[in-house]
Structure 1
Amino acid sequence: MNSKFKRGTLEKQLFDLPSEVQFCKKCVMSNQRPRIIFDEEGVCSACRNTAEYKNKIDWAEREKALIELLDQHRKTDGSWDVVVPSSGGKDSAFVAHQLKYKYGMNPLTVTWSPLRYTDIGFKNYQAMCDAGFTNLLCTPNGKIHRKLARLSFEELGDAFHVFVLGQLSYAFHIAVKFGIGLVMFGENGEAEYAGNPAVVDRPYVSSDIWTKIYLKGNKLKDLIQYGIENKDYLCKADINEADLKFYSPPSVEEMEKAGILGKHFFGYYTKWSPQESYYYAAEHTGFQANKERTEGTYTKYASLDDKMDGLHYFMKYIKFGFGRTTDDTSHEVRDGHLSREEAVALVNRYDGEFPSKYFQDFLDYLEITEEHFWDVADSYRLEHVWKKEGDSWALRNKVQ
């Protein structure tokens, strides 16, 4: 990695990045995205795997495979037969509604609480429940959760990391508890946004590769141990194993006993489109978009649940040199909804926009000052991505 990285070594993704920044010739994605692959023609793996490969898939055959999978888990006694992690957002609402009303399953939806709900996020969550779903909402111990969020911000560059931990793990604990062998997520991020080619065209991902792909190369116990040894706000007395249970997946033995193979993707069986999920959820589950554009991008309907979302995407911009607009436009270019030229214009207009609306909420939640925030944020600027111009920072390379 072409950088004197200032913080610790817990954010392992930063050490595998190419030293020269490159942008995809078909979409606008950067080669600084972890696990992405660019071919000799300068085209990213997302464009190859999702735009070109997906157009060759026999989706009727994939639907047959889905029905066969569902039939293997379908229960006739009225009990739940599939767990769907769902915030009430457009994607999970689409999955849950399709499984119940199109395919005749009886889904149990489960929600790992956002760090701090937005008004529209909680409204959409309630609307999903009102659309015909039983839901279990888990809100973790707030005292330890906030400390882990601060630790994750400082040492991983992402306070949102503690949400990802529970979002991935909580659903499987519930599945084990109720003997439900199928857990169905929405899209496969490695396929839709470019990532590990080994898991791109797979119906599920087993828990043994979660850590490397989703958890920045660290297990929770490693993060906590680092915090206890290096932070004055975290000590052994803060840690209660029961409170940490849902931050990590069940054991392999527990998963096997329940017949759970891993994290299944509804997007493997149907051609995934975030925009179409929005239209569907708005019609069938009462999902509502924001009234105003989301900071950092041009859309109004994605990742609306958490006040901390904006800072999550902004820190990605700091760490990797691309942000939320790059993700959104790249997907829409692949879906045929935008031209590359339009995507470039949107990226140059909105990518990296500072999310000021809930910034004070973020500082208050982590109990840090604005000065400390910028000290941490700036420490994640890699030398081959950023340059200092007077008192300001500028990207060394911008998409064209």
Structure 2
Amino acid sequence: MTSMKKTCKKCLLPTDYLNIEIDDKGICQHCRNFSKTEFLGPEKLLELVQEPLKRNQSKKYDCVVGYSGGRDSTYLLWYVVKKLKLRPLAVFSDDLFIPEIVYENMENTCRILDVDLRTIKHDNLKKCLPHHLKAWIRRPVPESLAVINVGERIGYETLVEETAVKEGVHLIFGGRTPIQEEERYKSELIKLSKSPGRQGKMDWIMGYGKQVLLNPALVSNLFCLKLQYKEFTVNKWKQKLIEENDLTIVYPFYDYVHWVEDELEEILFNELNWKLPEGKINSSRFGCEADTLRQYLFYRTLGYNDTHVDLSYLIRDGQISKEEAKDKLEDSLDFGEGYIEYILNKAGVNGKQFIQVLDRKYPETA
């Protein structure tokens, strides 16, 4: 499966990307308006962490790092240990859809860095994924793909903070980068108005309501409906948890340190002995299987997914040429139908039948 869509002349965003505006030179507004982030620098980062460190009540840990096993959080863990010289506790939210190679990379990384790894398993995603997949395939449109991963976010958004409170730690590190800010199309899709100027919560709620009216099966399971509500409002009670316990959350690669892919991969493969799945040449996006499935479904229904967005950012940032990005994109879009069918079966649906329905609705990705 390859992408043959016409794209912006500078990046990989297709000309039918949500809200894209191509000028007469064939260049999108994301490229025209791009300006490199002015990072505050590692010295400012060190200054920032001093105050929460003074409030630390743990004798064993200086901080907690949200650790997904992906490349960003792995690089973050390395940075906290090697550059900031702190003693982190790595907290992993295990949604039970994690490939074995991710566990291996995590355990190996923590051994090399001499970091404790605390894995917290939860089955919310496992309980709801079968229902949401069976409901979604009744009307397989990209707008309602937001419900597919319900149960995953509630883990990684709160378990890290709850662990920090239990340990008496007030400093938390997260791996968010400016690249992830570019992936807004997923949340904008479900809004009633797709206009980028309409960012209000009500527009999102009305868009969600429209999808429910068109496909009532999305809310036919009471447990999953409650979990949808809890997850879609998670930021509110996460913020309450932060304020009540005086927690400080820092994203080094968002505000302070420039995230550079070549440097990251040098650390992953040469210092931390990272391994890739067989046949893969790209270090990105082989974590949670449910997320891999959702990326596949975005690609099948839209013709693009997060990888198009991420690589386009790296082109604008001067880290990679468009030709190099195309090679990485080709590798990332080779999901392997057998692997997708395996994930679907593991999730509790008939993978072969699911893909057959999808093929009838979306016979090919142009």
CA distance in 1, matches of 2:20, 2:160: 27
Letter in 2 for 1:53: K
User: Is the 2:90–2:115 contact (alpha carbons within 8 Å) kept by the matching residues of 1?
Assistant: yes
3-state secondary structure, aligned to 1:74: helix
User: Is the 1:117–1:307 contact (alpha carbons within 8 Å) kept by the matching residues of 2?
Assistant: yes
Tell me the equivalent position of 2:99: 118
Correspondence 1:26-65 to 2 at 5 A:
26-30=10-14, 43-44=27-28, 47=31, 52-54=35-37, 57=38, 59=39, 61-65=40-44
Percent identity over the alignment?
A: 19
TM-score with structure 1 length normalisation? Answer: 0.65
2:145 aligned with 1:157, yes or no? yes
Tell me the equivalent position of 1:24: 8
What is the aligned length? 325
CA distance in 1, matches of 2:87, 2:325: 40
CA distance in 2, matches of 1:157, 1:328: 19
Q: 1:25 to 1:260 in 2, by over 3 A?
A: farther
CA distance in 2, matches of 1:311, 1:102: 35
3-state secondary structure, aligned to 1:157: helix
User: Is the 2:67–2:91 contact (alpha carbons within 8 Å) kept by the matching residues of 1?
Assistant: yes
Tell me the equivalent position of 1:277: 264
1:111 to partner: Cα distance: 0.7
1:85 to partner: Cα distance: 1.1
**Which of residues 139, 163, 167 in structure 2 aligns to 1:174?**
163
Correspondence 1:303-382 to 2 at 5 A:
303-323=285-305, 325-327=307-309, 329-344=311-326, 347=329, 349=330, 352-369=333-350, 370-375=352-357
Q: Which moved more, 1:117-126 or 1:324-333?
A: 324-333
**Which of residues 89, 111, 118 in structure 1 aligns to 2:70?**
89
Q: 1:88 to 1:285 in 2, by over 3 A?
A: farther
CA distance in 1, matches of 2:24, 2:121: 47
1:192 to partner: Cα distance: 6.0
1:181 to partner: Cα distance: 3.3
3-state secondary structure, aligned to 2:117: strand
Q: Per-residue CA shift, 1:118-142, capped at 9, x if unaligned?
A: 221110011122121122211113x
Correspondence 1:381-396 to 2 at 5 A:
392-395=363-366
CA distance in 2, matches of 1:118, 1:30: 30
CA distance in 1, matches of 2:24, 2:79: 39
Unaligned runs of 5+ in 2: 137-143, 186-198
Task: Please tell me the root mean square deviation across aligned C-alpha atoms, in Å.
Answer: 4.1
3-state secondary structure, aligned to 1:278: helix
**Which of residues 99, 108, 127 in structure 2 aligns to 1:147?**
127
CA distance in 2, matches of 1:170, 1:49: 37
1:255 to partner: Cα distance: 1.7
Tell me the equivalent position of 1:267: 254
1:262 to partner: Cα distance: 5.5
Tell me the equivalent position of 1:199: none
Q: 1:53 to 1:305 in 2, by over 3 A?
A: closer
Q: 1:251 to 1:308 in 2, by over 3 A?
A: closer
Q: Per-residue CA shift, 1:196-226, capped at 9, x if unaligned?
A: 9xxxxxxxxxxxxxxx89xx957xxx9xx99
2:117 aligned with 1:135, yes or no? yes
Unaligned runs of 5+ in 1: 1-20, 197-211, 294-298, 382-391, 396-400
1:175 to partner: Cα distance: 2.9
Q: Per-residue CA shift, 1:298-324, capped at 9, x if unaligned?
A: x33223333444322211212332136
Tell me the equivalent position of 2:245: 258
CA distance in 1, matches of 2:63, 2:19: 30
2:84 aligned with 1:103, yes or no? yes
Letter in 1 for 2:74: A
User: Is the 2:71–2:283 contact (alpha carbons within 8 Å) kept by the matching residues of 1?
Assistant: yes
